[in-house]
Amino acid sequence: SSSGPLPGSASAAACPCSGTSMELRIAALDGTLLEVTAESSWRVSDVKAEIEEVTGILCREQRLIAGLAEVKDDEEIAAVLARVAPRAGAELSLVRRSPEQAYWLEVVRSDGRQLKDAPPAVRGDPEVVLAAVKSNCSAFRSASEELREDPEVALSAIQENGNVFRYASPVLQADRAFILAAV
């Protein structure tokens, strides 16, 4: 049951139920409540599909956070909740991505080279750029200059694929400390 759509952010509390199902309570910051009965074998993607069905928020726009980390769609929700807080009352947060970011994440995950066609703000989004690099290492050359000069982002991209080094900024390529960190 739902008393309205979720806004940009929400919090979820999981309460164990009998058998292999559990009740997930998702509370929006404005007080809107959503209850989802989930099977313990459900993956995070199944929970997102249920949230989409009830609220209209597309799965690709949803980010579920457990503790301080985003949970992956292929993780079992019961394992996520057990890891974060084995006791009743485990907390999840639902954060809504912008439709533009969600769209471009979907595009570059299937073909990282498409990053070259993205608007400048998207080419400056570390999450989108790193997703593109996972699909195709040459996508990093289409990242914004700021990201190609950012040692943290460049190192994350290089960890995905060592060939990304050649697309990092010349400043980073000449930086001894960066080179040592990259190898």
Among residues 80, 97, 114, the one where a domain terminates is: 97
Residues 132, 166, single domain; the answer is yes
Residues 88, 143, single domain; the answer is no
Residues 34, 88, single domain; the answer is yes
Average pLDDT over residues 147-169: 94
pLDDT in tens, 81-117: 888 765 545 567 788 899 999 999 999 999 999 999 9
| CA dist list (Å): 83 to 41, 90, 135 | 15, 9, 29
> 161 lies in a domain?
yes
pLDDT in tens, 11-55: 444 444 445 788 777 766 656 677 788 888 999 999 999 989 988
List the structure tokens of 169: 């900024």
Q: CATH code at 42?
A: 3.10.20.90
Amino acid at 49: A
pTM: 0.75
Residues 36, 80, single domain; the answer is yes
The predicted structure's pLDDT at residue 38 = 86
Residue 22 lies in domain: 9-97
Residues 6+ apart with CB under 8 A from 140: 129, 132, 133, 148, 154, 157, 164, 167, 168
Residues 57, 129, single domain; the answer is no
Task: Sort 170 into a burial class: Cβ within 10 Å, 0-12 / 13-18 / 19+.
Answer: exposed
Residues 64, 106, single domain; the answer is no
Among residues 66, 97, 128, the one where a domain terminates is: 97
List the structure tokens of 117: 């066609």
